[in-house]
Structure formats: structure tokens, C-alpha cells
């Protein structure tokens, strides 16, 4: 009887211990979920002030007839190294499939200049896994002189596989990894995050599974850039929205970056149409604390295509956070020009007040008696702004004798502009042989604005003409 009692006591003790462990585990799990919930609410509060400011669109266009990028042009990665910004893009031209090029600038809003030695990464030889296309580059800097480029290639296997290249400079020359591809059939590269010693590779995959050329977002993980990569068993990490939602067609690409302990994803979300070219895309945001489980922002989309005149789609989205702004680079498609593509940019201000300086007209020279066209000026969208100032600068020749006049024209839709100046008598007074700069205030009471600049001198040109908008909110 005593032994039985001892055994019962032992069983009871074990049961109590197991209950205690379970309660502790449940308590810890509850506390963990509560902590995650607090962090999630904190993220959503911090990002509730996303304020969309359309950039000087388009920021890049296809090259002239006969150029390597004269056909389709689409966004890849944006990357900052020291004081220079690098915008990688893939394009077609000369009867060739996608190849990769790059443009540089001293500021995310430009002006951007295409690299004279483009393309920086070409298609592979006949019969290779990348003989048809190379596209969707993403750059990571590992050391002071070691850069990795992940990219997507398409060729003999009729699949989009993943390749790797290295260089000692963002401009190259890029050397392809001899054991490419590092992954077979894994879609369009969106981003790579180095996290806890591992490489998290995010792609749009499987391509076409949510709509024509659209996909959910998937993840693969490796210990080295070269791999081997293991597909995350919980893929996809971001699914398309439910039918009828703004992103029911999935995604055309998305960049993920890691900042302050959080994975941030900005993506081109698709409102699906039976005809692919008529699908419409805006930009959404999602976040994750482990890089595997993403939560969509409750106020998506965070950047809408309707803010850009004639804008039909913001596709292949890539993000660059800097200070209190997030710069979102993307392919820009149009309602009226079906099939036409440029490269564009949206800016998200993450707090108020803000001040943002943007170029809207840059010309090396304006001839004697000439006036710029409306097409030369980028539109300024005045939504979300409380203040606006325009700064005009030009260099007069030593023989100059007349002023430069600035015509400010406004529009309700960004497509049809007034024929009468919004402001009168805006003049840059002639000072022969000098560079003259003037800033003037514009009340942001309309929706869109453009400028035309007139050289009143019928004998002499003006040089280094620029107009910048300083936007506040």
C-alpha cells in the first residue's frame, strides 16, 4: 500500500510538473504573441502616416531607335554606394531579349544618367540557361570592393532560374558565377536580405500562378550567396488578396529590406484583368518579424497609380529608405499608351512636417528666343502638400541683354493644362556673365503644375537651366 501511495504521489508530481511546464509554455507563448501584437501595432502606427508624393515621372525612358534599350524597359534594383545612387533596369532592343543596364544619380530623384557602357550584364551564349533573357537584378555589398548581383535568367530550360555575378564596382565588370544557375525555376528576383548569417532570397514565384505573368512572393534560404538554397516549406510568404480586392492578381515583383529588426516589403499589387496589359497595379506594404510570416498593412495600397497622370500600373517595385522618406522605384505603364513603359518613382514621407526637393526641368541650354515645351517639364502633384516653392537657376552669357521668364501652368487632371499662366511676371533678371537663382512661392490650391521657361533674349542663349520644386507638408 505504501509503494502504491508512493507511485501515486510520483505520478501526481509528474502530472503537476507537466501542467506547470505546459502553463509556463502557454504563458510564454501568450506573452510572445502579446509582444508581437504590440510590435505589430507599433509598426502600423509608425506607418500610418505614409504620405504619397509622386516623383518627377518618368525618371528614365527607353533609348533612341537602334539602342540596346530602345524597346521594353523595366525596373530592377536601386542601390546606394557612398554618395552615388545606382538604378539597375532590364530592357530590350536591337531585336535582343532582356539585358541589364544601370543609371546613376547624386540623389534618388535624379536627374539620372545612363551608364555609357551599358548593358552591364548580357545574355548567355546560344544553348545556355540564360540565352534569351537576363533580368531582375539585386545588388548586395559584402566588402569594400566585393559586390554580389542576384539575377533571373531564361533560356534553354524554358524556366526562369536564378544566377549570381560578382564585381569590384557597382558598374562592373560583372563576372558570372561559373556554377550558375544557383537555383532552377525560382522566378523573378525581388530582393536578398542577409539575416543572422544566412541569405534570404525573395522572388515572385511560381510565375503565372495567380494571373498572366503574376505570382505570390516566395522565399529560399542559404548559408552562402552561391547556395545551396532551400525553398522555405511555408511558401508563399505573401499571397494574393481575396478575389475583388485591389491585389487579387498577385505581384509583379517586390523588394524586401531589413531595418530596425523588421523585414519590410513593398510590392506591386495587381487588380487582375482578363487582358494582362489592362491589369492595374498600385503599391502595397507588408512587414514581418522573422522574414517568413508577413502581415499586410491595413491601409493598403500605400501608393496609388491614380496620383500619376495617365498612370495605369506601378510594377516591379524596389524600395530605398532614406531618412524620413522611402523612395519607391518602379516600372510605369500608362492608360492611353498600352504596351508603353518608362521607369518611375513614388516617394513616401513617413512623418509630418516634411520638405522634399525635386527636379522638374533640367536643360543644358535654352536657345535665343526659345521657350521650353510642357512636355519638357515634369508634373508636380500638389495633393498632400501645404507649401510649394519653385527655384529657377540659369547662367547668362557675357553678351546677354534680356531676362528669363517663367510660366507656371496648372491642371485639374495632369493631362489638360491651362493656356493662361497661373502666376504673372515671374522673371529671372539678366545679369551678364553670371549665374542667377530665384525662389518664389506657389500656393498649392490646384492638383497639378508644370512650368515653361522662356528666354527673352533673341540674340544669346542661357546655359545650365534648372527648375526645382521644394514641397512641404
C-alpha distances out from residue 385 to 8, 137, 282, 413, 445, Å: 75, 34, 21, 16, 9
- The 10 Å Cβ neighbour count of residue 227 is 19
pLDDT tier, 25 (very low <50, low <70, confident <90, very high otherwise)? very low
C-alpha distances out from residue 294 to 173, 245, 291, Å: 36, 18, 7
| Ordered DSSP codes for 130-153 | TSSEEEEEEEEEEETTEEEEEEEE
| Residue 14 confidence (pLDDT) | 36
Question: Which of 138, 93, 95, 140 is closest to 118 using CA atoms?
Answer: 93
Query: What CATH class has 51-349?
Result: mainly beta
How, if at all, do strands 380-381 and 84-93 pair?
unpaired
- Lowest average pLDDT, out of 6-10, 206-210, 278-282, 310-314, goes to 6-10
Distance between CA atoms of residues 198 and 331, nearest Å: 30
Residue 10 confidence (pLDDT) above 90: no
Please tell me whether residue 332 adopts helix, strand or coil conformation: strand
- The 10 Å Cβ neighbour count of residue 419 is 6
Residue 394 confidence (pLDDT) above 60: yes
Which tops the pLDDT comparison, 30 or 183?
A: 183
In this structure, the dihedral spanned by the alpha carbons of residues 205, 209, 215 and 219, taken in order and rounded to 10 degrees, is -30
Q: What is the pLDDT of residues 225-276, one digit of tens each?
A: 999 999 999 999 999 999 999 999 999 989 999 999 999 999 999 999 999 8
DSSP summary character for residue 372 = -
| Mean pLDDT calculated for residue range 174-183 | 98
* Cβ atoms of residues 407 and 458 within 8 Å: no
| Mean pLDDT calculated for residue range 137-157 | 97
Which cell numbers in the block locate residue 191? 530582393
| CA triple 268-301-346, angle to 5 deg | 65
Residue that is written with C-alpha cell 522605384 in the block? 329
Share of the chain above pLDDT 90, in %: 88
- The 10 Å Cβ neighbour count of residue 302 is 20
For residue 192, with 0-12 CB atoms within 10 Å meaning exposed, 13-18 middle and 19 or more buried, which class applies? Answer: buried
Distance between CA atoms of residues 303 and 320, nearest Å: 15
* Cβ atoms of residues 48 and 297 within 8 Å: no
Distance between CA atoms of residues 387 and 443, nearest Å: 7
| Preceding amide of 123 cis, omega within 30 | no
Residues contacting 400, CB < 8 A, separation 6+: 430, 432, 433, 457, 460, 462
Q: What is the pLDDT of residues 142-151, one digit of tens each?
A: 999 999 999 9
Q: Looking at the structure, give the CATH architecture of the domain made up of residues 355-472.
A: Sandwich (2.60)
Distance between CA atoms of residues 132 and 126, nearest Å: 8
- Sequence ranges of the domains in the chain: 51-349, 355-472
Residues contacting 34, CB < 8 A, separation 6+: none
Distance between CA atoms of residues 343 and 359, nearest Å: 16
Share of the chain above pLDDT 70, in %: 90
Q: What is the pLDDT of residues 70-106, one digit of tens each?
A: 999 999 999 999 999 999 999 999 999 999 999 999 9
pLDDT tier, 49 (very low <50, low <70, confident <90, very high otherwise)? confident
Residue 61 confidence (pLDDT) above 70: yes
pLDDT tier, 5 (very low <50, low <70, confident <90, very high otherwise)? very low
Please tell me whether residue 363 adopts helix, strand or coil conformation: strand
| Residue 1 confidence (pLDDT) | 45
| Residue 155 confidence (pLDDT) | 97
Which cell numbers in the block locate residue 181? 544557375
Give the HSE-up count for residue 384: Cα atoms under 13 Å, Cβ half-sphere: 21
Q: What is the pLDDT of residues 322-367, one digit of tens each?
A: 999 999 999 999 999 998 999 999 999 999 999 999 999 999 999 9
Distance between CA atoms of residues 177 and 149, nearest Å: 10
In this structure, the dihedral spanned by the alpha carbons of residues 414, 417, 421 and 423, taken in order and rounded to 10 degrees, is -20
Please tell me whether residue 59 adopts helix, strand or coil conformation: coil
pLDDT tier, 41 (very low <50, low <70, confident <90, very high otherwise)? low
Distance between CA atoms of residues 445 and 289, nearest Å: 41
State the chain's mean pLDDT as an integer.
92
| Mean pLDDT calculated for residue range 199-205 | 98
User: Structure pTM?
Assistant: 0.91
| Residue 36 confidence (pLDDT) | 53
Distance between CA atoms of residues 387 and 291, nearest Å: 39
Amino acid at each position: 500500500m505504501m509503494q502504491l501511495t508512493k507511485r501515486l504521489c510520483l505520478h501526481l508530481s509528474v502530472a503537476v510538473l507537466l501542467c506547470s511546464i505546459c502553463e509556463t509554455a502557454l504563458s510564454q507563448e501568450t506573452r510572445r504573441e502579446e509582444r508581437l501584437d504590440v510590435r505589430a501595432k507599433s509598426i502600423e502606427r509608425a506607418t500610418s502616416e505614409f504620405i504619397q508624393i509622386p516623383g518627377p515621372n518618368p525618371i528614365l525612358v527607353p533609348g533612341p531607335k537602334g539602342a540596346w534599350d530602345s524597346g521594353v524597359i523595366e525596373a530592377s534594383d536601386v542601390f546606394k554606394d557612398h554618395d552615388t545612387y545606382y538604378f539597375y533596369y532590364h530592357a530590350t532592343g536591337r531585336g535582343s531579349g532582356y539585358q541589364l543596364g544601370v543609371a546613376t544619380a547624386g540623389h534618388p530623384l535624379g536627374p539620372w544618367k545612363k551608364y555609357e557602357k551599358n548593358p552591364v550584364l548580357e545574355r548567355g551564349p546560344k544553348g545556355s540557361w540564360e540565352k534569351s533573357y537576363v533580368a531582375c537584378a539585386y545588388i548586395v555589398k559584402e566588402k569594400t570592393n566585393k559586390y554580389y548581383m542576384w539575377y533571373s535568367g531564361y533560356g534553354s530550360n524554358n524556366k526562369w532560374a536564378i544566377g549570381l555575378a560578382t564585381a569590384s564596382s557597382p558598374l562592373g565588370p560583372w563576372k558570372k558565377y561559373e556554377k550558375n544557375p544557383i537555383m532552377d525555376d525560382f522566378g523573378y528576383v525581388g530582393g536578398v536580405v542577409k539575416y543572422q548569417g544566412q541569405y534570404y532570397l525573395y522572388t515572385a514565384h511560381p510565375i503565372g500562378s495567380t494571373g498572366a505573368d503574376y505570382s505570390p512572393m516566395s522565399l529560399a534560404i542559404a548559408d552562402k550567396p552561391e547556395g545551396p538554397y532551400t525553398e522555405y516549406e511555408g511558401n508563399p510568404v505573401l499571397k494574393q488578396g481575396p478575389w475583388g480586392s485591389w491585389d487579387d492578381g498577385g505581384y509583379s515583383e517586390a523588394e524586401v529590406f531589413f531595418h530596425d529588426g523588421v523585414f519590410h516589403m513593398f510590392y506591386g499589387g495587381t487588380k487582375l484583368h482578363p487582358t494582362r496589359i489592362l491589369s492595374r497595379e498600385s503599391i502595397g506594404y507588408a512587414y514581418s518579424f522573422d522574414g517568413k510570416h508577413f502581415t499586410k498593412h491595413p491601409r493598403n495600397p500605400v501608393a496609388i497609380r491614380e496620383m500619376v497622370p495617365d498612370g495605369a500600373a506601378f510594377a516591379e517595385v524596389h524600395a530605398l529608405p532614406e531618412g524620413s522618406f522611402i523612395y519607391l522605384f518602379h516600372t510605369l505603364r500608362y492608360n492611353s499608351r498600352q504596351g508603353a513603359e518608362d521607369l518611375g518613382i513614388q516617394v513616401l514621407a513617413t512623418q509630418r512636417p516634411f520638405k522634399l526637393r525635386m527636379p522638374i526641368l533640367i536643360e543644358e541650354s535654352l536657345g535665343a528666343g526659345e521657350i521650353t515645351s510642357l512636355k519638357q517639364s515634369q508634373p508636380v502633384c500638389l495633393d498632400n502638400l501645404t507649401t510649394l516653392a519653385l527655384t529657377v537657376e540659369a547662367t547668362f552669357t557675357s553678351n546677354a541683354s534680356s531676362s528669363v521668364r517663367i510660366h507656371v501652368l496648372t491642371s485639374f487632371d495632369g493631362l489638360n493644362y491651362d493656356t493662361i499662366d497661373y502666376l504673372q511676371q515671374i522673371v529671372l533678371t539678366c545679369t551678364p556673365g553670371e549665374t542667377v537663382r530665384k525662389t518664389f512661392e506657389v500656393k498649392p490650391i490646384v492638383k497639378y503644375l508644370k512650368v515653361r521657361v522662356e528666354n527673352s533674349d533673341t540674340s544669346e542663349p542661357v546655359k545650365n537651366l534648372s527648375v526645382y520644386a521644394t514641397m512641404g507638408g
